[in-house]
Amino acid sequence: MAIVGLGIDVVEIDRFEAALARSPGLLERVFTPAERGLGTHSLAARWAAKEALAKALGAPRGLSWQDAEVIREESGQPRLAITGSVAARAAELGITSFHLSLSHDAGVASAVVIGEAL
């Protein structure tokens, strides 16, 4: 396996919460229906994950935030489920798997995404 893309993002949770309050449409525009019911800390971490994913994919125009969802495995490990524009860009780069790490502590949420190819 070879690393094709790497992305990291950090989100100040209070600032993210203020953005949600200022722009109610942000929740529907960025998060999938399954993600929308989560608390602010979890949403901030997922926003960081989507930003980190975009960076790992080279931040091309035209990616839909709805085409990436953070899923929690039974083990508790987060995983990215991708479709549409995100899956197309990953295929274009030859990415066959992603690794995702999320964290939120001390008022900050962060995420790291690694894209690998066979």
Spans of all domains in the chain: 2-117
Indicate the fold that domain 2-117 takes in CATH: Ribosomal Protein L22; Chain A (3.90.470)
pLDDT above 90 (res 1): no
Over residues 57-116, the pLDDT tens digits come to 999 999 999 999 999 999 999 999 999 999 999 999 999 999 999 999 999 999 999 999
Query: What pLDDT, on a 0 to 100 scale, did the predictor assign at position 39?
Result: 95
pLDDT above 90 (res 6): yes
The pair of three-digit structure tokens given for residue 94, joined into one six-digit string: 């030859």
**Nearest to 62, CA basis, from 82, 85, 90, 81:** 85
Section 43-55 average pLDDT:
98
